[in-house]
Amino acid sequence: MANLNVKTSFNTILSLQSETLGKRLLAFVLDIVVIVLYWVGIWWIFSVFNIDFEGAFGGDYNRVVWGWFSLVSLPILFYSLVSETVSGGYTLGKYIAKIKVVKIDGFQPSFVEFFIRWIFRMIDIYAFMLVAILAGGIMARIFSFYTIGLVGLIVIVRSKKGQRLGDMVAGTSVIKSKIKQSINITILKEVEDSYEPKYSQVLKLSDNDARIIKETFESARKMKDVKLIRKLVVKLETVMGIKNTDKPEQFINDVLKDFNYYTQNM
Q: What is the DSSP string of 93-161?
A: HHHHHTEEEEETTSS---HHHHHHHHHTHHHHTTHHHHHHHHH--HHHHHHHHTTTTHHHHHHHHH-TT
pLDDT-derived band at 180, boundaries 50, 70, 90: very low
| Predicted confidence (pLDDT) at residue 144 exceeds the cutoff of 80 | no
The pLDDT of residue 186: 47
Q: Which range has highest mean pLDDT (10-14, 98-102, 174-178)?
A: 98-102
Range of the domain at 79: 3-176
Mean pLDDT score, 235-252: 89
Q: What percent of the chain has pLDDT over 90?
A: 24
pLDDT-derived band at 120, boundaries 50, 70, 90: very high
Which of 151, 176, 201 is the last residue before a domain boundary? 176
16 shares a domain with 76: yes
| Predicted confidence (pLDDT) at residue 29 exceeds the cutoff of 70 | yes
Which of 176, 192, 215 is the last residue before a domain boundary? 176
| Predicted confidence (pLDDT) at residue 220 exceeds the cutoff of 60 | yes
Q: What is the rounded CA–CA span in Å between residue 34 and residue 248? A: 47
Please give the mean pLDDT across all residues of the chain.
80
- ∠234-168-212 over CA atoms, to 5°? 35
Q: Which amino acid is at 244?
A: N
The pLDDT of residue 239: 85
118 shares a domain with 237: no
Nearest to 72 by CA among 38, 25, 107, 121: 38
Nearest to 158 by CA among 124, 130, 126: 124
112 shares a domain with 140: yes
198 shares a domain with 120: no
Q: What is the rounded CA–CA span in Å between residue 100 and residue 168? A: 16
| Predicted confidence (pLDDT) at residue 59 exceeds the cutoff of 90 | no
104 shares a domain with 25: yes
Q: What sign has the CA pseudo-torsion 6, 260, 19, 113?
A: negative
- Per-residue pLDDT tens for 63-84? 767 777 888 889 999 999 999 9
111 shares a domain with 236: no
77 shares a domain with 132: yes
pLDDT-derived band at 19, boundaries 50, 70, 90: low
Q: What is the rounded CA–CA span in Å between residue 67 and residue 57? A: 12
Mean pLDDT score, 160-179: 84
Characterize 218-235 residue by residue with b for buried, 16 or more Cβ atoms within 10 angstroms of its Cβ, and e for exposed.
Answer: eebeeeeeeebbebbbeb
Q: What letter would DSSP give residue 198? A: S
| Predicted confidence (pLDDT) at residue 154 exceeds the cutoff of 80 | yes
132 shares a domain with 221: no
Q: What is the rounded CA–CA span in Å between residue 6 and residue 183? A: 24
* 3-state percent helix, strand, coil for the chain, nearest multiple of 5: 65, 10, 25
- On the 0-12 / 13-18 / 19+ scale of CB atoms within 10 A, 255 is buried
171 shares a domain with 48: yes
Name the region of 179 (left: φ>0; alpha: ψ -120 to 50; beta: rest). Answer: beta
Mean pLDDT score, 190-219: 80
- Domains: count for the chain: 2
Which of 176, 204, 235 is the last residue before a domain boundary? 176
| Predicted confidence (pLDDT) at residue 42 exceeds the cutoff of 70 | yes
140 shares a domain with 86: yes
| Predicted confidence (pLDDT) at residue 126 exceeds the cutoff of 80 | yes
CB 118 within 8 Å of CB 80:
yes
pLDDT-derived band at 181, boundaries 50, 70, 90: very low
| Alpha-carbon distance values, 180 to 12, 95, 213, 266 (Å) | 22, 13, 17, 11
